[in-house]
């Protein structure tokens, strides 16, 4: 059976377990990935549905990329049924540079309320003909099933990042 996709795999490998000033636990995932490619090519990797389908378990990212607009990650089951695996809203958008969106897996058995949405930011910087993609996702400490979602994200990234690099650098 096809591996169940969750955008929560869009994450990275650093867990910060600390207390903020208001004593709320913080559990974030941060990752910097260097690509031997320009920013435009990396941006296409992140925002073009035909390309995301190649590395994100057959799922396409769909959005109008407008602040306040919706974002969906959709794919198909083995029997051809279309499924929305992740949904959210665009919070910040600077084409070719940075995007932040909320994210929620509607297939999880948790309540679809704002408190259960995570946030994901892609931030691109170009230096010496290379691009650094910084991913920041969280706060897992404040959402239902946070630890489980965090662990799934880490495992997913271990599988996805090498394929992302291969696609961009070929």
The pTM is what? Answer: 0.85
Report how far residue 148's alpha carbon sits from residue 61's, in angstroms, rounded to the nearest whole number.
23
- Helix/strand/coil for 141: helix
| Domain annotation for the chain: domains and CATH numbers | 7-16+26-163 (3.30.530.20)
pLDDT per residue as tens digits for the range 15-68: 333 333 444 689 999 999 999 999 999 999 999 999 999 999 999 999 999 999
Q: What are phi and psi of 114, to 5 degrees?
A: -50, -35
> 74: which DSSP letter?
E
pLDDT per residue as tens digits for the range 106-122: 999 999 999 999 999 99
Report the interhelical angle of 39-47 vs 146-169 (nearest 10°).
130
């Amino acid at each position: 059976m096809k591996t169940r996709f969750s955008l929560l795999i869009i994450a990275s490998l650093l867990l910060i377990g600390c207390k903020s000033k208001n004593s709320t636990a913080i559990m974030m995932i941060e990752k910097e990935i260097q690509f031997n490619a320009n920013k435009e090519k990396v941006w296409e990797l992140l925002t073009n549905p035909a390309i995301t389908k190649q590395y994100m378990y057959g799922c396409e990212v769909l959005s109008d990329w407008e602040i306040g607009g919706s974002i969906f990650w959709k794919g198909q089951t083995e029997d051809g049924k279309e499924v929305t695996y992740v949904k959210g809203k665009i919070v910040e958008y600077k084409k070719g540079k940075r995007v932040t969106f909320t994210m929620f897996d509607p297939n999880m058995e948790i309540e679809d309320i704002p408190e259960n949405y995570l946030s994901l930011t892609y931030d691109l910087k170009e230096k010496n003909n290379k691009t650094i993609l910084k991913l920041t996702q969280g706060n897992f400490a404040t959402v239902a099933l946070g630890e489980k979602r965090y662990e799934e994200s880490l495992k997913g990234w271990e599988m996805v990042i090498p394929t992302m690099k291969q696609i961009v650098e070929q």
